[in-house]
Amino acid sequence: MPIGAVAKAVPAAVDAALRRAASLLAAGAAAPCGHTLLVGRSSRLAIAAAAIAAIGACSDDGAVAAAGSDATSVDGLAIDAAVTAGCPKGAAGCKGGVRWVCNDQGTGFVETPCPAKTVCSDGLCVACATDGDCPAGAPCTQGSCQVAPLAIVTTALPPALVGKPYAAKLEAKGGVQPHTWSIGQGALAAGLQLQPSGAIDGAAQAAGAFSFQVKVGDPAGSAATQVLALEVKDSGLVVTSPSPLPAATEGEPYKYALAAQGGVPPYFWGVKGGALPAGVALTGDGTLAGTPASDGDHAFEVKVFDNGEPPLVGSRALVLPVKLAPLEIVGSQEVNLFITKLIVLPLIVVVDKLPVPYSAKLQAKGGKKPYAWAETPLPGMIKGFLPKAGIPAGLKLGADGTLSGAVSDPALVTEVKVPLSQIVLKGFFFAAEVSDSQAKPQKKQAIFIIPTVPVGGP
C-alpha cells in the first residue's frame, strides 16, 4: 500500500508520523533497500509505527523493514513486522515482553509468541523471568519457579490482655498461594478466632495459658502443623509485635515500628539482651531502622516502659530475619542488543603496537560476598551476532572482577549493528559469570562490551 494512500486513511494524530515517512521515502531514504512497506489488517497507530520503523531500519547495506498482516503488536491490534537487517537463523530475543525469532532465510526477525503460561526471557520461552512471575514466595531460578515445601514460620505468639483488642498474623512459607489456616487440635482463648487467612483477632474473655495446634494447607494439597502457646494476662504492659519480625534484606534500608498494649502511653523502648543486626538500631520510640550489613536470623530481647507512676515494664524476645538480596550483575550503562543486554564498561584506547593501560571492575550486588568472576562462553543464539567475542589478547579478568591489561591490535575490534536501530557498536564483547559465596552459590551471567576509541592502525 503506498504511503500516500495510508496517510489519507488515518486521523490527524497519526498524519505527522506518516508525513515524515512519506517525506523520507520521497527523499530516497528507502531506495537503498529496494523494498516497499506492506501494510495488512492493522490499527491506525500500528500502521504509522510500522511506517516509521520501516524507514528507520533501512541502511546502506540493504536493510529493510516490512509489515505483514496478522500478528499482535504496537497497540494490541493486528500487525506483523519483520525487520530484515540480517541475523543468524534461529536467533531469538525479547522486546517489550514479546519474543522475536530470526527467520529461516536469516533476513529478519519475526514475532513468535510464547505458549500460554510462559514468558519471554533472554530469547527463550520459560516459566518465569522474575520472582513476580511465580506463586508468591517462590523464587524464579534459571527460568523455573522453585516452590519450597510448605512450612509454618510462626513459632510464638505475643501475649494478650483480657478485654483488649488482639491481633496476630500467622505466617507460613513455601507451598502454593493462597494458604488456608485452621485449628488442628485444642482451642484458642474464648473471644479469639483464627481466620482462614491466618489472622487471629478478637478480645480474650479470661486470663490463662492456652496451647493449641494450627494447621496450614495450600491448593496443591500440602499441609503443615505447629503447636503454639498464648498467654492472656489480666492487666499489665505487653509487647504485641510478632516474632519473627517482617524480614529485612541485607544492604537495603529497613524500618519497622514495634508495638505494645496496656499501661499509659507513650512508651519508651530499649534492647534488653541479644544483638540487633549490624547497621540497625532501636530508637526510644520503638522504631527499628537502618541498613542491615549481615544476613541471618538475629535474636534479641526488647523492653518497654509506660508513662505511669510507677511505670509498668514489659519485654519480649524477638527475631529479625535478614535475607540476602538476589544476586545481580549491574553496570552504570546498558545497551539493548535486541536478543540480549550489554553492560557497558569504561572506554578502552587501542593504539596500533602501543599498549595503553586499561583497568575496569565488573560489578554485582546481592548474594553473599565475596564474589568470584570468570569468563564464560557466549550463549549459542548470541554467537552469530558476536562471532569474535571474548576477552581480547592483552586483557585478563581476575577472580575479583578486575579487568586489566592493554590491547595494541585494532584488528581485534568487533563492530556490531544493533537490530531495530541505527546503533553501531565497536569494541570487545565477552560474557562473564559471577558466583557468590553461599554453600550453594547463586550464579549470574551477563554480556559486556568494552567500547573502543581506535587510534592509528589501518
pLDDT digits (tens, 9 = 90+) for 229-241: 999 999 999 999 9
Question: Is there a domain that residue 134 lies in?
Answer: no
Contact predicate 96/107, CB 8 Å: no
The answer to whether residue 82 scores a pLDDT higher than 60 is: no
Identify whether residues 268 and 205 lie together within a single domain: no
The answer to whether residue 18 scores a pLDDT higher than 50 is: no
Cα radius of gyration (the chain)? 31
Of the residues 323, 346, 364, the one at which a domain ends? 323
Taking each helix axis from N to C terminus, what angle separates 44-57 and 12-26, rounded to the nearest 10 degrees?
20
Identify whether residues 119 and 159 lie together within a single domain: no
Q: In whole numbers, what is the pLDDT of the chain averaged over residues?
A: 80
Contact predicate 292/300, CB 8 Å: no
Q: What is the pLDDT of residues 42-70, one digit of tens each?
A: 333 333 333 333 333 333 333 333 333 33
Expressed as residue numbers, the domain containing 420 is 328-455
Of the residues 235, 255, 277, the one at which a domain ends? 235
Q: Which of 79-93, 238-252, 376-390 has the lowest mean pLDDT?
A: 79-93
Identify whether residues 352 and 378 lie together within a single domain: yes
**Average pLDDT in the 103-121 region?**
87
The answer to whether residue 392 scores a pLDDT higher than 80 is: yes
Give the whole-number percent of the chain exceeding pLDDT 70: 76
Identify whether residues 352 and 430 lie together within a single domain: yes
CA distances from 371 to 51, 128, 253, 377, 378 (A): 47, 25, 22, 19, 20
Identify whether residues 308 and 422 lie together within a single domain: no
> How many domains does the chain fold into?
4
**Average pLDDT in the 291-297 region?**
94
pLDDT of residue 148: 86
425: number of CA atoms within 13 Å, CB side?
Answer: 25
Q: How far apart are CA 13 and CA 15, in angstroms?
A: 6
Q: How far apart are CA 207 and CA 368, in angstroms?
A: 46
Question: Is there a domain that residue 165 lies in?
Answer: yes
Q: How far apart are CA 404 and CA 398, in angstroms?
A: 8
Map grid coordinates 522453585 to a residue: 146
pLDDT band at 29 (very low <50, low <70, confident <90, very high): very low
Identify whether residues 334 and 315 lie together within a single domain: no
Torsional class of 230: left (φ above 0), alpha (ψ -120 to 50), beta (otherwise): beta
pLDDT band at 131 (very low <50, low <70, confident <90, very high): confident
Identify whether residues 113 and 182 lie together within a single domain: no
Contact predicate 451/427, CB 8 Å: yes
Question: Is there a domain that residue 133 lies in?
Answer: no
pLDDT of residue 421: 61
Identify whether residues 98 and 189 lie together within a single domain: no
Give the whole-number percent of the chain exceeding pLDDT 90: 57
CA distances from 96 to 68, 245, 393, 416 (A): 19, 38, 36, 22
Identify whether residues 180 and 298 lie together within a single domain: no
DSSP tag of 436 = -
Question: Is there a domain that residue 135 lies in?
Answer: no
DSSP tag of 425 = E
Backbone angles phi, psi at 319, to 5 degrees: -130, 130
Question: Is there a domain that residue 50 lies in?
Answer: yes
Backbone angles phi, psi at 380, to 5 degrees: -55, -45
Identify whether residues 241 and 230 lie together within a single domain: no
Distance of CA 379 to the CA centre of its chain: 21
Q: How many C-beta neighbours within 10 Å does residue 57 have? A: 23
**Average pLDDT in the 121-149 region?**
82
Which CATH number fits the domain that encloses residue 362? 2.60.40
Question: Is there a domain that residue 132 lies in?
Answer: no
Q: How far apart are CA 56 and CA 421, in angstroms?
A: 7
Which CATH number fits the domain that encloses residue 292? 2.60.40.10
Identify whether residues 216 and 264 lie together within a single domain: no
Q: What is the pLDDT of residues 223-269, one digit of tens each?
A: 999 999 999 999 999 999 999 999 999 999 999 999 999 999 999 99
Give strand pairing partners of 433: 374, 445
